[in-house]
């Protein structure tokens, strides 16, 4: 492991949630008030919100923010870039000295989402089998998987999809120190044919 | 050049625009009716819209769609993943046999945006100098540039920023056949301090 990857275990996500409603600010504030963010570093500016910390908490918090907005039935989009081991990264703004038990795990909101994700293992390596294995695991949980331009399309329950994405990310970064994954999600879309909680 | 990069000149962007308004559908439809998309392949599903074609037309069309929504003063977010040379790509769904003159170039909407972009040259190579050179070129045009977690933050006029992003993308893919660039934009945000068109 070279010096530039010394911070690789600090994961992060730069994300945005977009409730498509006139009172989008209220949806976001209400969601944030319900999510436990004590195990991540979090900062919001006018473009994105950044969370940093252990992989499991980064996924736990981003999923919880999405779910607390989606449960209101507003049409909401989520876009996140999950990253780990960036050579330009530094060791600050991280909450690594925390336990792994999740702060928002009890969330029993069932929410259908359609999503697209792309995985970018930077620096090469044999990662395709890792991706295929995790996609098969998602399929076994009932997630619908289809190819799309520049991404893989996933449809199903939010918990199943985020669990699968976390596993893909975790296993890939174990092989390729600098790994980036982009995830775009649409919930409660008027063009969705199916919605598990309707 | 290896076989898997044979389609590298077909660029594409998988993007979403999110007008934060109850009548978000109308904003999107109105914008699309004003944008000339005849030189790109375009398809929309419930998660993203994909455009494919020559680099210049992919940037021209995505910028025009954003600008026609932003000119209404609604708060709108844009998220796009620009990609070229993906080994999994194929030669279909492309409009390569068209001239390079832009179909939406006359658009004189001046719009302040805050954005973050990340460049992922997949397969390594010496690309950092390319990025720095293009960032310097953007600064000379008055774009404000700042580092951010996992990205570079840009603030300024939409035309200047998209021109800079297109140049970064174009020059990087000339050196690294498979190049991906993610761009997140916020326009008319209530938290923007400055807005050139107010
Ligand atoms: Ca719902």
| Paired tokens of A46 | 């006018």
Rounded distance between C-alpha atoms, residue A95 and residue B120, angstroms: 26
Element (H, E) at B196: none
Rounded distance between C-alpha atoms, residue A86 and residue A115, angstroms: 25
Between positions 154 and 173 of B, the ones with CB within 8 A of A are none
Flag if A20 and B16 touch (Cβ within 8 Å). no
Element (H, E) at A46: none
Flag if B150 and A83 touch (Cβ within 8 Å). yes
Give the A:B interface size as CB pairs under 8 Å: 127
CB atoms within 10 A of CB A96: 15
A182 in a structural domain: yes
pLDDT band at A97 (very low <50, low <70, confident <90, very high): confident
What confidence score (pLDDT) does residue A156 get? 95
A63 in a structural domain: yes
| Paired tokens of A193 | 């044919």
Find chain A residues with C-beta within 8 A of B191's C-beta. Answer: 45-46
A97 in a structural domain: no
**Nearest residue in A to B121, CA atom:** A122
Output the CA–CA distances (angstroms, integers) from residue A186 to A194, B31, B189, in the order listed: 12, 20, 21
| Paired tokens of A120 | 């970018």
Quickly list H helices, chain B. Answer: 24-34, 55-70, 128-140, 158-175
pLDDT band at A143 (very low <50, low <70, confident <90, very high): very high
> Any CB–CB contact under 8 A between A4 and chain B?
no
Rounded distance between C-alpha atoms, residue B154 and residue B91, angstroms: 33
Flag if B47 and A116 touch (Cβ within 8 Å). yes
Interface test with A, best of B7, B42, B48, B185 (most A CBs within 10 A): B48
Label the pairing between strands A144-148 and A151-157: antiparallel
Candidates B18, B21, B122; nearest CB to A22:
B21
Known binding-site residues of B for thiamine equal: 17, 49
Chain A nearest-CA distance from B157, in A, is 15
User: Whole domain around residue A126: which residue ranges?
Assistant: 3-86+108-187
Flag if B46 and A189 touch (Cβ within 8 Å). yes
Number of independent structural domains in chain B? 1
B164 in a structural domain: yes
A192 in a structural domain: no
What confidence score (pLDDT) does residue A123 get? 72
* Pairs from B103-109 (Cβ < 8 Å, separation ≥ 24): B103/B36, B103/B37, B103/B38, B103/B39, B103/B57, B103/B60, B103/B61, B104/B35, B104/B36, B104/B60, B104/B61, B104/B63, B104/B64, B105/B60, B107/B63, B107/B64, B107/B67, B109/B67, B109/B68, B109/B70, B109/B71, B109/B158, B109/B197
What confidence score (pLDDT) does residue B193 get? 58
Element (H, E) at A84: strand A76-84
Rounded (10°) CA dihedral B132, B135, B136, B141: 170
Rounded distance between C-alpha atoms, residue A11 and residue A51, angstroms: 8
Interface test with A, best of B8, B43, B46, B47 (most A CBs within 10 A): B47
Give A33-91 pLDDT, tens digit per residue.
999 999 999 999 999 999 999 999 999 999 999 999 999 999 999 999 999 988 777 77
Give B109-148 pLDDT, tens digit per residue.
999 999 999 998 887 666 777 778 888 888 988 999 998 8
| Paired tokens of A181 | 């994954």
DSSP state of B49: E
Rounded distance between C-alpha atoms, residue A198 and residue B46, angstroms: 18
CB B38 within 8 Å of CB B47 = no
Nearest to A84 by CA among A185, A170, A184, A183: A170
> What does residue A159 show for φ and ψ, rounded to 5 degrees?
-60, -45
User: Does the structure show a pLDDT above 50 at B197?
Assistant: no
B96 in a structural domain: no
CB A94 within 8 Å of CB A73 = no
> Any CB–CB contact under 8 A between B119 and chain A?
no
Give B47-102 pLDDT, tens digit per residue.
999 999 999 999 999 999 999 999 999 999 999 999 998 877 777 777 888 999 99
Nearest to B119 by CA among B66, B77, B170, B52: B170
What confidence score (pLDDT) does residue A126 get? 66
Flag if B116 and A50 touch (Cβ within 8 Å). no
> Any CB–CB contact under 8 A between B180 and chain A?
yes
What confidence score (pLDDT) does residue A21 get? 96
> Which one has a higher pLDDT value, A141 or B65?
B65
Flag if A47 and B118 touch (Cβ within 8 Å). no
Flag if A14 and B122 touch (Cβ within 8 Å). no
Rg (CA), chain B: 16
Instruction: Tell me which residues have their CB within 5 A of the ion that is ligand 1.
Output: A 73, 188, 197
Flag if B182 and A81 touch (Cβ within 8 Å). yes
Give B150-194 pLDDT, tens digit per residue.
899 999 999 999 999 999 999 889 888 889 999 999 999 988 755
A102 in a structural domain: no
> Any CB–CB contact under 8 A between B72 and chain A?
no
A193 in a structural domain: no
User: Does the structure show a pLDDT above 90 at A198?
Assistant: no
> Any CB–CB contact under 8 A between B93 and chain A?
yes
What confidence score (pLDDT) does residue A22 get? 96
CB B137 within 8 Å of CB B195 = no
For chain A, first and last CA: distance in Å? 49
Sheet holding B144-148, edge to edge: B41-44, B49-53, B11-19, B76-84, B178-187, B112-122, B151-157, B144-148
Q: Region of B156 please: left (phi>0), alpha (psi -120 to 50) or beta.
A: left
Between positions 31 and 70 of B, the ones with CB within 8 A of A are 45-48, 50, 52
Mean pLDDT of B35-42: 96
CB A83 within 8 Å of CB A118 = no
Q: Residue A130 Cα, ligand 1 centroid: separation in angstroms?
A: 31
What CATH number is given to the structural domain containing A72? 3.30.70.930
> Any CB–CB contact under 8 A between B118 and chain A?
yes
């Amino acid at each position: 492991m070279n010096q530039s990857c010394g911070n690789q275990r600090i994961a992060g996500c730069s994300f945005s949630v977009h409730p498509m409603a006139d009172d989008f600010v209220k949806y976001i504030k209400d969601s944030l008030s319900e999510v436990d963010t004590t195990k991540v570093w979090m900062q919001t500016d006018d473009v994105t919100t950044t969370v940093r910390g252990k992989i499991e908490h980064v996924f736990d918090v981003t999923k919880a923010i999405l779910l607390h907005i989606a449960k209101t039935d507003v049409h909401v989009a989520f876009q996140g870039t999950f990253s780990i081991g960036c050579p330009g990264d530094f060791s600050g703004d991280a909450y690594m000295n925390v336990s792994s038990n999740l702060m928002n795990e009890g969330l029993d909101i069932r929410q259908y989402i359609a999503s697209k994700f792309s995985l970018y293992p930077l620096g090469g390596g044999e990662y395709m089998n890792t991706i295929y294995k995790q996609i098969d695991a998602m399929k076994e949980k009932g997630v619908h998987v289809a190819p799309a331009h520049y991404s893989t399309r996933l449809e199903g329950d939010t918990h199943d999809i985020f669990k699968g994405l976390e596993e893909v990310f975790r296993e890939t970064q174990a092989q390729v120190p600098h790994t980036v994954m982009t995830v775009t999600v649409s919930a409660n879309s008027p063009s969705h044919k199916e919605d598990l909680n309707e």
